[in-house]
Amino acid sequence: QVQLVESGGGLVQAGGSLRLSCAASERTFSSRTMGWFRQAPGKEREFVAAIRRSGDRSYYADSAKDRFTISRDNAKNTVYLQMNSLKPEDTAVYYCAAGMCIFESTCSVVERYGYWGQGTQVTVSE
């Protein structure tokens, strides 16, 4: 059983930055693709970013490109999401997920991830 614990959420003004972290309990962390998703009230969970197990490739939703950066430290079993130039529409609960996928077309799909964290709230004010 993989346990994922997110941290780093909070309240920030538009234009500000936050760095989310997700710590995994599993020793095989380095064998899994890690993803970040988000869910705003009344909306479906949506893909934000993913990074392959070795960190050689990362994928982003159009809304995240040029503003967010996903990275991972396999030695620390941790994945990060650096979010810059935040907008009010980025407000959501952000979830970390662990899965097994390789290509962008599959790594952006919720169903490809078998393990999820509890989520961390990100609120961006005007």
Q: Please report the pLDDT score of residue 30 as a whole number.
A: 86
Q: What would the pLDDT profile of 114-125 be if each residue is shown by its tens digit?
A: 999 999 999 999
For residue 11, what are the CA distances in angstroms to 4, 26, 74?
22, 30, 28
Q: What would the pLDDT profile of 64-89 be if each residue is shown by its tens digit?
A: 999 999 999 999 999 999 999 999 99
User: Is the Cβ–Cβ distance between 117 and 97 less than 8 Å?
Assistant: yes
What does the pLDDT average to over 83-97?
98
What does the pLDDT average to over 87-95?
98
- Cα separation, 97 vs 20, whole angstroms: 13
